[in-house]
């Protein structure tokens, strides 16, 4: 039997700290359910002490999940730990995850604490967390830059206090694989009671080495990997779940280790995270990027046609890339739609299906075939965003070479309709100006990008915007066969995310 690696997913906590990637409670719940289906062992649902909104979202997730351990992050303070337990205490499998920095630079400049004080605080916090649950994880923040012997001392004390998992983070993405591998081996051989706990690793991607460091650590004996979908997270991001899983899956001769991840759900989960957060997956992203299984060079194409394994080390079907030939169109019924949505990971209620079916029929009247990407947009906009403050009801734009561009807009704002119009340099600028006037917002547009969801002239256009207001950053995403409408939807989505951030101020941590 293969040795076991536990997958700890922190997309909802560390992943959400990607600039502008905030999620509302409905979006977090939808993603949490999908992550449980994917097979993650532990799901870090959030940092309850950061805001009331985060506490409520974590609590709802804890009530919903049945198989996956639900963990909440807490600093080494009784207040944070109380908050964490309040959020997850009713979970089927709760875990408290507490942390404190152990590197000299963090202890001297951030904590202003001595080594003995850090050890004492860690022990007290683990003991306090243990009074609520016997499933406690302790993290040594900035562990990769900590003194090795002190790191072992802290871990020994935390395990003695009751920690069942100790986590070694490369918090700032500083480590090199060979170096990190040696550190893991040192911790395992110099922490006397390490056999009583699981050693975990949590790597960041500042040098582009997060996955390499994680695999090196696993190969050296670590047995829990902390990851995010698409590698999203603070700064340059975290270790990518799909890269670690497919490396283990593809190279069992070198890494004979098993996980509970269902690989065929990797791609649908990646798409869901991208749709919810508004963060596009780069085309050349390993495993889930648009080009990951594309072959343009003639010699590659010839080889793949003769035997796919000449240039493909993985089968696209393994990660859930669509090979289904079911065509959905305006004559398709609810049963076919529900069946396809289930295959994509969306198990909708009858009421939700009714709403999605209506939107599906409207889109099917505009284009001949409705593809998976279209369905994901319908679910995201029709289900996950139903409680937004702003909602686009109507848009009419006049533009051309001989007229002054003008947009008339009707919005639903907190349940009430509001109408207005404005001019601009073009149809999109006009629409944005009209929306900004109606909503009374003064955000700055930092980025605007357009792409097609699929091929064909009837494809939906997908627009992503990045907005900034009073130091807050938010991403907005919208899709529609009409690119101007898609732009307006993206702008409104971005404004809603800004409003969510204003109402739920978040404490950022590493």
Q: What is the per-residue pLDDT across 421-458, written as a single tens digit (0 to 9) for each?
A: 999 999 999 999 999 999 999 999 999 999 887 777 77
222: closest CA among 182, 253, 254, 250?
A: 182
Range of the domain at 486: 390-503
Q: Does the pLDDT value for residue 508 go beyond 70?
A: no
Please give the model's pTM, rounded to 2 decimal places. Answer: 0.85
Domain assignment of residue 467, yes or no: yes
The answer to whether the beta carbons of residues 311 and 295 sit under 8 Å apart is yes
pLDDT confidence bin for 294, thresholds 50/70/90: low
Determine the Cα–Cα distance for residues 5 and 245; give it in Å rounded to an integer: 10
Are 447 and 427 within one domain? yes
Whether residue 249 lies inside any domain: the answer is yes
Q: Are 15 and 276 in contact (CB under 8 A)?
A: no
Whether residue 289 lies inside any domain: the answer is no
Same domain assignment for residues 255 and 402: no
- For residue range 147-174, list pLDDT tens digits in order: 999 999 999 999 999 999 999 999 999 9
Residue 305 has pLDDT above 80, yes or no: no
Arithmetic mean of pLDDT, 385-392: 80
Q: What is the pLDDT of residue 1?
A: 37
Residues 117 and 259 both lie in one domain: yes
Within a domain: 241: yes
What is the predicted pLDDT for the residue at 325?
A: 45
Q: What is the DSSP string of 427-462?
A: HHHHHHHHHHHHHT---EEEEEEEEESSSSTTPPEE
Whether 369 and 455 map to the same domain: the answer is no
User: For residues 482 and 210, what is the distance between their CA atoms, to the nearest angstrom?
Assistant: 39
The Cα diameter of the chain in Å comes to 80
How many percent of the chain have pLDDT more than 90? 65
Domain membership of residue 283 (yes or no) is no
pLDDT for the residue numbered 501: 82
- Look up residue 314 and give its DSSP letter: S
- Tell me, letter by letter, the H, E, C secondary structure of 131-150: CCCCCEEEEEECHHHCCHHH
What pLDDT was estimated at residue 327? Answer: 61
| 3-state SS assignment for residue 489 | helix
> Do the domain assignments include residue 287?
no
| Domain-embedded: residue 323 | no
Q: What average pLDDT score do residues 464-492 get?
A: 92
Residue 307 has pLDDT above 80, yes or no: no
Lowest mean pLDDT among 239-243, 247-251, 332-336, 479-483: 332-336
Task: Choose one of 346, 366, 384: the last residue of a domain.
Answer: 384
Q: For residue 145, what pLDDT is reported? A: 98
Q: Are 37 and 173 found together in one domain?
A: yes
Residue pair 129/98 in contact by the 8 Å Cβ criterion: yes
Tokens of 127: 């003991």
Mean pLDDT, residues 16-37: 87
Instruction: Give the pLDDT of residue 16.
Output: 85
Q: Please check whether residues 374 and 428 belong to one and the same domain.
A: no
| Mean pLDDT on 174-182 | 98
Cα(430)–Cα(508) distance, rounded to whole angstroms?
35
Q: Are 347 and 313 in contact (CB under 8 A)?
A: no
Same domain for 429 and 477, yes or no, is yes
DSSP reduced 3-state for 414? coil
Who wins on pLDDT, 304 or 256?
Answer: 256
Q: Considering the chain, what is the average pLDDT of its residues? A: 90
Residue 302: the pLDDT is: 55
Within-domain flag for 395: yes
200 CA to centre of own chain: 20
Same domain, 355 and 444: no
Examine the domain organization and report whether 16 and 165 are in the same domain. Answer: yes
Q: How far is CA 406 from the centre of its chain?
A: 37
* The pLDDT of residue 306: 61
Same domain, residue pair 496 and 378: no
d(CA 463, CA 487) in angstroms, rounded, equals 6
What's the pLDDT at 304? 46
CATH code of 270's domain:
3.20.20.70
Q: Are 122 and 138 in contact (CB under 8 A)?
A: yes
Token pair listed for 385: 């965003």
Residue that finishes a domain, picked among 237, 259, 277 = 277
| Mean pLDDT, residues 19-27 taken together | 80
The encoded tokens of residue 294 equal 């594309």
pLDDT tens across 402-416, in order? Answer: 999 999 999 999 989
82 and 202 co-located in one domain: yes
The count of domains in the chain is: 3
Query: Is residue 326 scored above 60 in pLDDT?
Result: no
Q: Residue 298 pLDDT > 60, yes or no?
A: no
339 pLDDT more than 70: yes
219, pLDDT greater than 50? yes
CATH number reported for the structural domain that contains residue 478 in this entry: 3.30.160.270
Do 377 and 399 fall within a single domain? no
Percentage of the chain exceeding pLDDT 70: 93
């Amino acid at each position: 039997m293969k040795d076991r690696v536990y997958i700890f997913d922190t997309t909802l906590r560390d992943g959400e700290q990607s600039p502008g990637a905030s999620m509302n409670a409905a979006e977090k719940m939808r993603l949490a359910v999908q992550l449980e289906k994917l097979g993650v062992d532990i799901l870090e649902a959030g940092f309850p002490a950061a805001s009331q909104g985060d506490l409520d979202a974590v609590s709802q997730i804890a009530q919903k999940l049945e198989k996956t351990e639900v963990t909440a992050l807490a600093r080494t303070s009784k207040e944070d730990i109380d908050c964490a337990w309040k959020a997850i205490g009713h979970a089927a499998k709760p875990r408290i995850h507490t942390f404190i920095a152990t590197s000299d630079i963090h202890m001297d400049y951030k904590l202003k604490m001595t080594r003995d004080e850090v050890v004492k605080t860690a022990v007290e916090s683990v003991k306090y967390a243990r009074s609520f649950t016997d499933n406690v994880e302790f993290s040594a923040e900035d562990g990769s830059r900590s003194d090795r012997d002190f790191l072992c001392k802290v871990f020994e004390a935390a395990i003695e206090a009751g920690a069942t998992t100790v986590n070694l983070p490369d918090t700032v993405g500083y480590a090199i694989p060979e170096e990190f591998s040696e550190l893991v081996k040192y911790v395992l051989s110099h922490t006397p009671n390490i056999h009583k706990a699981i050693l975990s690793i949590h790597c960041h991607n500042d040098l582009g080495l997060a996955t390499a460091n994680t695999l090196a650590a696993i190969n050296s004996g670590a047995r829990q990997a902390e990851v995010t979908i698409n590698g999203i997270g603070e700064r340059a991001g975290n270790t990518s779940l799909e890269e670690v899983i497919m490396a283990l899956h593809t190279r069992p001769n070198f890494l004979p280790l098993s996980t509970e991840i269902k690989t065929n759900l990797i791609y649908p989960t990646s798409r869901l995270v991208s749709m919810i957060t508004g963060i596009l997956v780069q085309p050349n992203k390993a495993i889930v990027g648009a080009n990951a299984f594309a072959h343009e060079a003639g010699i590659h194409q010839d080889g793949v046609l003769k035997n796919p394994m000449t240039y493909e080390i993985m089968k696209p079907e393994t990660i859930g890339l669509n090979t289904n030939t079911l065509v959905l169109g305006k004559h398709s019924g609810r049963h076919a739609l529900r069946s396809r949505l289930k295959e994509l990971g969306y198990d909708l209620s009858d009421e939700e299906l009714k709403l999605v079916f209506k939107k599906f029929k409207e889109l099917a009247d505009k284009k001949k075939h409705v593809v998976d990407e279209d369905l994901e947009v319908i679910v995201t906009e029709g289900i996950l965003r139903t409680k937004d403050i702003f909602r686009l009801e109507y848009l009419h734009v006049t533009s051309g070479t001989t007229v002054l561009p003008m947009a008339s807009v009707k919005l639903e704002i907190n349940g009430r309709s509001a109408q207005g119009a404005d001019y601009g340099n073009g149809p999109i600028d006009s629409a944005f100006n009209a929306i900004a006037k109606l909503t009374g917002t003064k955000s700055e547009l930092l980025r605007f990008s357009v792409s097609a969801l699929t091929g064909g002239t009837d494809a939906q256009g997908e627009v992503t915007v990045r907005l900034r207001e009073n130091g807050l950053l938010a991403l907005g995403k919208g899709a529609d066969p009409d690119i101007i409408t898609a732009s307006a939807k993206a702008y409104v989505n971005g404004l809603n995310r800004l409003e969510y951030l204003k109402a739920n101020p978040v404490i950022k941590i590493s």
